[in-house]
Amino acid sequence: MNSSQLPHPHTLDTLAALSQETDYDPDSMSVDHARAFIRRCMEPMCSVERVHLRDALGRVLAENIVSAIAVLGFDNAAMDGYALRFADMVRGQETRLQRIGVSFAGHPFSGEVGAGQCLRIFTGAMMPRGADTVVMQERTREEKGVAILAPDAVTHEGQNRRFAGEDIAPGVTVFTRGQRLRAPELGMLASLGIAEVPVYRKLRVAFFSTGDELVSFDATPAAGQIYDSNRYALYGMLQQLGVEPMDMGIVPDQPEALEAALTAAAAHAEVVITSGGVSVGEADFIKAMLERLGKVLFWKIAMKPGRPLAYGMIGNAHFFGLPGNPVSAMAVFYQFVREALLVLQGQAPVMPLPTFRAALTTPVKKAPGRTEFQRGVCEMKDGQSVVTPIPTQGSNILSSMSRANCFIVLPMDSGNQPAGTVVEVQPFDGLMG
Ligand code: AMP
Ligand code: MG
């Protein structure tokens, strides 16, 4: 068993409780219900490691970051110009001040600016003692060591001056545990002089495809065989989420082979994801096997595409059994597994997929009783968000995912929708990069 895994009494207890709950209906689970069930079983499970800033992009912070210093560290000029005492400015007229020196960025002026004096200063250069304000150089001219400032070139004390601690005050919590580090955070950490950060170790996710009909693209399909596409779509979705994917290949529909693959996967990863083999016809022998290896619940989700879903624990690993149809596998991944993997990685908070509203350009067919995730193309027309469903909506038609840029989410109870109906869409942007 790998050392980074934490024990899971919480998840096992929750799973046991879930299967007892009176509203637990494995034969027609609503999308919201399944999502909430899975969420209850999730807690962060990765140990902590320290990484250099260069390796920190997309990683999840494992501790709060408190600033030891102020950023900016000292008052400095926001403009090229002259530093002076605001009180010396003559209202409504030119002001003449004696220039006593210069402060460059990185080369401060060591003296003090007195009454009637000013200092040539450049952006980012330290404010000299005595001066409180900067006049921008475009409002000045200089004659024989005297700076001549245009009337009312500044209007208040402190203008064009940056104050120490303006960006980050010392002692404040700059970032919190669970935050995912993006480019601005890397820059801010560098500005605090921090070269290494504590992050959660990458979540290891082992995955394989099941099915006697599948071959890898390095083999030639025999009659009745197809290339395995799910493993690559899954690999892409996993990479997008910042986990460490472990590709375990294709496993035939044989109990011994499946058992060996599941056992090996659970021993090496925190999460095991399979595709195929969880639909009604095939599920029985897998169910019996999973009962022996761990605790797994089988659900028929009231959604289209993507009805069957298995979730549970195998050994110490979370297990997700996705449906085999390529569109179903992707839809189930985005609606359930994505959020779960974010929680397991330690990210907090984890928000649901963002949605917005758009008007249908064509009617859609929809049977009440299940939530549908139709693939659509969303665009702006005449200042309005509109969405057009892809004409081929079969759960085996992977090109529908590729041609689409969003899911059109049609709620459980809704029926056919005429053109013009305003519907909810989940953009793929940010999901697929
Ligand atoms: P299953 O869920 O195993 O009953 O598979 C449902 C459908 O999805 C069948 O048509 C399978 O051939 C197909 N399928 C299953 N796994 C894959 C895969 N990895 N790549 C492409 N198609 C698949
Ligand atoms: Mg199969």
Q: Is 9 left (phi over 0), alpha (psi -120 to 50) or beta?
A: alpha
For residues 97 and 119, give the distance between their C-alpha atoms in angstroms, rounded to a whole number. 9
Helical pair 280-293 and 255-268, crossing angle rounded to 10 deg: 50
Residue 245 pairs in a beta bridge with 205
What's the pLDDT at 290?
A: 86
What's the pLDDT at 23?
A: 82
- Nearest bound ligand to CA 275? 1
pTM for this model (two decimals): 0.92
Residue 405, classified by CB atoms within 10 Å of its CB into exposed (0-12), middle (13-18) or buried (19+), is middle
For residues 206 and 317, give the distance between their C-alpha atoms in angstroms, rounded to a whole number. 10
Ligand 1, pocket-test mutation among 208, 210, 214, most atoms within 8 A of CB:
214
What's the pLDDT at 46?
A: 85
- Cβ(276) to ligand 1 under 6 A? yes
Residue with CA nearest ligand 1 atom 5: 324
- Cβ(393) to ligand 1 under 6 A? no
What's the pLDDT at 123?
A: 98
Structure tokens given for 411:
């709620």
What's the pLDDT at 433?
A: 39
* Closest-lying ligand 1 atom to the alpha carbon of residue 213: 12
Residue with CA nearest ligand 1 atom 3: 276
What's the pLDDT at 6?
A: 55
Structure tokens given for 53:
């800033």
CB atoms closer than 10 angstroms to residue 368? 11
What's the pLDDT at 296?
A: 92
What's the pLDDT at 287?
A: 78
* Closest-lying ligand 1 atom to the alpha carbon of residue 325: 8
Residue written as tokens 């986990």?
A: 243
What's the pLDDT at 2?
A: 45
Tell me the per-residue pLDDT of 267-282, one tens digit each, with 9 for 90 and over.
999 999 999 988 767 6
Average pLDDT over residues 284-297: 85
Half-sphere exposure for 132 (CA within 13 Å, toward CB): 10
Three-class SS state of 101 = strand
Tell me the per-residue pLDDT of 146-186, one tens digit each, with 9 for 90 and over.
999 999 999 999 999 999 999 999 999 999 999 999 999 99
- For residue 283, is pLDDT > 70? no
* Closest-lying ligand 1 atom to the alpha carbon of residue 396: 8
Q: How confident is the model at residue 7 (pLDDT cuts 50, 70, 90)?
A: low
In sequence order, what E strands does 286-383 have?
294-300, 303-304, 308-314, 317-322, 356-360, 371-381
**Ligand 2 geometric centre to CA of 243 (Å):** 26
- Cβ(321) to ligand 1 under 6 A? no
Contacts of 270 (CB under 8 A, 6+ apart): 2, 4, 5, 45, 46, 203, 204, 205, 316, 317, 318, 344
For residues 265 and 259, give the distance between their C-alpha atoms in angstroms, rounded to a whole number. 10
What's the pLDDT at 1?
A: 41
Contacts of 432 (CB under 8 A, 6+ apart): 236, 237, 240
Tell me the per-residue pLDDT of 294-322, one tens digit each, with 9 for 90 and over.
999 999 999 999 999 999 999 999 999 99
| Percent share of the chain, pLDDT over 90 | 87
Tell me the per-residue pLDDT of 324-368, one tens digit each, with 9 for 90 and over.
999 999 999 999 999 999 999 999 999 989 999 999 999 999 999
In sequence order, what E strands does 146-279 have?
146-149, 161-162, 173-175, 196-200, 204-210, 214-215, 226-227, 244-251, 271-275
pLDDT, averaged across the chain? 94
> What does the chain come to in residues?
433
- For residue 432, is pLDDT > 90? no
- Cβ(133) to ligand 1 under 6 A? no
Contacts of 179 (CB under 8 A, 6+ apart): 60, 61, 185, 347, 348
**422-427 and 356-360 beta bridge pairing:** antiparallel
What's the pLDDT at 429?
A: 82
Residue with CA nearest ligand 1 atom 14: 324
**Ligand 1 geometric centre to CA of 394 (Å):** 13
Ligand 1, pocket-test mutation among 273, 278, 282, 325, most atoms within 8 A of CB:
325
Tell me the per-residue pLDDT of 205-229, one tens digit each, with 9 for 90 and over.
999 999 999 999 999 999 999 999 9
Q: Which of 229, 225, 180, 170 is nearest to 200 (CA)?
A: 180
Ligand 1, pocket-test mutation among 208, 227, 230, most atoms within 8 A of CB:
230
Q: Which residues surround ligand 2, an ion (CB under 5 A)?
A: 211, 276-277, 324
